[in-house]
A and B are shown apart, each in its own frame.
Chain A
Amino acid sequence: MVTFWVALLAISILIYLLLDGFDLGVGILFLLPNSEVRRQAMLGAIAPFWDGNETWLVVTGVVLWGAFPVVYATVLSAFYIPVIFMLLGLILRGVAFEFRAKSQHSRWIWDLGFGGGSLVATFMQGVMVGALVQGLPIIDGQYAGGVFGWLSGFSILCGIGLCLGYALLGACWLVRKRGGAVRDLARSQIPVLATGVLLFLILVFSHALLQHLPILHRWIDRPYLFVFPAIGAGAACVLASSILRHDDYWPFHMVSLIFISAFGTLALSFWPYMVPFAITIDEAAAPHASLAFMFWGAGLFIFPLMLLYVAIGFRVFRGKFDSESVRY
C-alpha cells in the first residue's frame, strides 16, 4: 500500500513537471523581447492545456497530505516563503493569461504578470528541490532552519537551473506546436538552453555525490542504477541530432526524457528517504486505514480515469496549431 502511494505520488509529480513545465517555460520565454504577434502565438500554443496541467500540482499536494502527512507538514512549513511566492506567481499568471485579452491599455500589466508569475513560480520550485537535495536542517523531526533555512548558493543555482529547464521544455513545445518564425526562433533558443541545462545537471549531481558520499556507494553497489543517467545522455544526443536535422517532433520528447531520467536519478539516490537523510518513506506514511481508504476509490478507479482524460485532452489538440482549430 505504501509502495502504491509512493508510485502514485511520483507519477503525479512527474506529470506535473512535464506538463506544467512546458507551459511555465513558455511563460518564461514570454519575458524575452517579443512582438505582439509572437506573444499571441505563444499563448495559443499552451491555451488548451495549462489549466489542467496546473491541477496536477493540487493533486500532488493533497496526495502528499493524505498519504505522507509528516512530509507535507514538514516540507511546506519549512518552505514558507518559497511556497507562498510560488502560489502568488501561479495566481497572477493564471488570471493574467485570461485578463490579457480583455484589456487594451493595461496589457503590459498582464504580460508582466504572466511572464513574471511563471518565472517566480518556477524559480521557487527549483529552489525548493535544491534545498531538499542539500538537506534541510531537521532536528527530532522538526524543521530548525528558520525563515531562510532553504536559501543557499546551491538552492539559488537550482532555481536558475529549473528556469532554464522549463524554458527548454517550453521552447521544444513551441517547436512542436507551431510553424514559421515562431518555431524558428524557438529552435534557435534550444541549443543555448540545452547546454545550460546539461551543465547544470552535471553540477548538481556531482555536488550531491560529493556532499553525501553514501549515495556514491549505492551507485557503485548497484551499477544498474546508471541506466537513468545513461538514458538522459542518450536523449541529449538524440536532441542534438534532431535540432541539427530541423526536426519538429522529437526535441520535446527528448527533453521530457531528460527530465524523467533526472527525476529518476534523484529519486533513486535518495531512496528510501523522502526528505533526504531525515524522513524515510515508511516513517512518513499515513496509517494503513488512511492509505486503504484512498486506495479503494481515488487510487484504483479515479486516478486511471484522470490519466485517461489527460491523454484524450492531448489527443484532441494533437498536431500543429496552425489551422483554425484552436483560437479565440
Chain B
Amino acid sequence: MDPTALLLSRLQFAFTISFHIIFPAFTIGLAAWLTVLEAMHLRSGKPVYRTLFEFWLKIFGVAFGMGVVSGVVMAFQFGTNWSVLSKMSGPIQGPLLSYETFTAFMLEASFFGILIFGRTRVPPWFYLFSTAMVALGTTLSAFWIMVNNSWMQVPTGYVMQNGQFVPDDWMQIIFNRVVWVRFPHMLLASYLTGAFCVAATGAWYLLRRTYRAEAHVMLRMGLALAAVLLPVQLFIGHLVGDYVHDYQPAKFAAIEARWHDEQPASEVLIAIPDSSTESNKYAISIPVLGSIIGSMSLSSKEVGLTSFPPQDRPPVAIPFFAFRIMVGCGLLMLALAWLGSWLGLKHRLERNRLLLWGIFLSFPLPWIAILTGWYTAEVGRQPWTVYGVLRTADAVTPFLTAAAAMTSLIMFVAVYAFIFSFGTYYIYRLLRAGPAGLGGEVLHAPAMPNRPMSLADRPRPPSGNYAQAGE
C-alpha cells in the first residue's frame, strides 16, 4: 500500500462526495416543498402557488441533473479506490446500495416524467401524487445511503466469514437506533437547505422590489418551516451526539478536544488543539458542562483521547472545528428564522432591509452545516473505514499507485469545477430572471421524461427545435 495513494484516494472520495451531496441536499428539500406547493394550489386554487411551483420545478430540474451525473461516480468509486473494503463489505453495502438505486430509480424516473410533461395528461390529484412520489424517491434514496453510512459508523448485524462481512440480521442493520437518529438528522438538514434557499430567494426579490406576492409566500413559508424545524434539528443533533458518545468515544473526545480523562468534565467552547503536546492552546472552557452534555450528569467521568492508543485516535482539528462551524451555522439560522418569522407576523419584515440582507446572504449556511457535519462524522471515524473493524489504510486498493490516484483526482477536480461553474451560473440566471414569463407558455412547453435538465430550457430556442430541424 502506497501512503500517497491512500491520502489521494481519501481526498478524491471527500471531494467527489462533497460535490455530490450539494445537489441531493437541495433536491430532497425542494421536492418536499414542491409537493406542499402543489397541495396548497389544489386546496386554495391561488395562482401564486402554481407560479411558484413551475418556477422551482425548473431549478429542481437542473439541480437534480447535476446530482444524477455526480452520483454515477459514487457507484464505481468504491471498487476503483477501495477494493479491499468493497470485497469485504460488498455482501452488506452492495445490497443496500442496490436498494438505493432500484427504489430511487423506480420512483424518480417514473414520476419525474409525469412531473415534467404530464401536467395536462393526468388528473390534478394524480399530478400531486406524482410530485409526492418524486419526493418519496429522493427521501428513500437518502434513507438507504444513511443506512449504508451508519453501518460503516457502527457495524452491526454481521458475522465474519472467509474475510467477508456476512449479514446475519438485516433488521438489525436497517432498524438500529443509529440509523434512526442519523437519517432524520440528514433529512431535516435537507429540508432546512430547501427552506433557506426559498426564503433567501424571497428576500432577494423584496430587496430588488420585484415579484412581491411570490416573495412574500417564499419568505413566509421558508422562514416558518425553518423556525419550526431548527429546534427539532438541534434536539436530534443532540441525539446523534449521544450515539457518538456511546459507540465512538474516540470521535467524541476529538470533537470535544478532550485530551485526558476528566471527572467531572469541562466543555471546551473554543481552542486551538495541538496534537504534538496533547493539549489545547487558548482554550475557553466551562467546567462541568462537558459531563452534562456527554452523560446528562454533573459528575460523570468523560474519556479523553490519551486513553486510546495513538494509532486508534482520529485527527482532532478537523472534527473539532467542523463541529463548531456546523453548530454555529445552526444557531445563526435559528436566530434568522425566529427573528424573521416574528417580524413577518407583525408585518414589519419588508421594511427591515438589514434583516432581509441577512436572510438573502444566509443561503450558503445550510450547505456549510451539512458539509462540516459530514466532515465531523467521516474524519472523526478515522482511522477506521468500518469503525473498529477495518482500517482505512487496509481498505484502499493495495496496488493503486500515487500517479494513477493523482491523475484521477486532478481530472475530477478540473471537470467538476468546470461543470459546477456552468451549472451554478445557470441556476443563478434562472433565479435572477424569476417566475416571470412562465405564464401560459410553460404549461405547453413540451419536455421529456428522463431528461431532468431539459426542463430548464427556454421554451423556444432561437435556432429552432430538434424535432423539426431534421426536415
Binding site for B on A (CB under 8 A): 36-38, 40-41, 43-45, 47-52, 54-55, 57-59, 61-67, 69-70, 72-77, 79-81, 83-85, 87-88, 90-92, 94-95, 98-99, 101-102, 142-144, 146-147, 178-182, 286-287, 289-290, 293-294, 297-298, 302-303, 305-306, 309, 313, 316-317, 321-328
Contact = CB atoms under 8 A, between A and B. Distances in A.
A290 B87 contact: no
Contacts, number: 276
A52 B164 contact: no
A298 B99 contact: yes
Nearest 5 Cβ contacts at the A-B interface: A69-B90, A44-B466, A76-B79, A66-B94, A41-B470
Interface stretch (B101-109, B186-194, B363-371): B101-109
B457 A65 contact: no
Contacts of B466: 40-41, 43-45, 47, 321, 326-328
Interface residues of B, number: 84
Nearest to A58: B75
A313 B446 CA distance: 15
B450 A51 contact: yes
B465 interface: yes
B120 interface: no
A37 B468 CA distance: 9
A294 B95 contact: yes
A312 B44 CA distance: 34
Contacts of B401: 147
B448 interface: yes
Contacts of B465: 40, 44, 327-328
Interface in B85-115: 86-87, 89-103, 105-106, 109-110, 113
Interface of B: 65-66, 68-73, 75-76, 78-81, 83-84, 86-87, 89-103, 105-106, 109-110, 113, 161, 164, 166-168, 170, 397-401, 403-404, 407-408, 411-412, 415, 419, 422-423, 426, 445-454, 456-459, 461, 463-471
13 contacts: A45-B466, A51-B65, A66-B94, A69-B90, A81-B407, A84-B407, A287-B91, A289-B166, A290-B91, A298-B103, A316-B449, A325-B446, A327-B466
A63 B98 contact: yes
A302 B106 contact: yes
A57 B72 contact: yes
Most chain B CB inside 10 Å of its own CB: which residue of A47, A57, A66, A302: A66
Given A77-B79, A323-B467, 17 more contacts: A40-B466, A50-B451, A59-B105, A61-B79, A62-B75, A62-B98, A66-B94, A76-B86, A77-B400, A79-B80, A142-B398, A294-B99, A313-B450, A321-B470, A326-B466, A328-B447, A328-B461
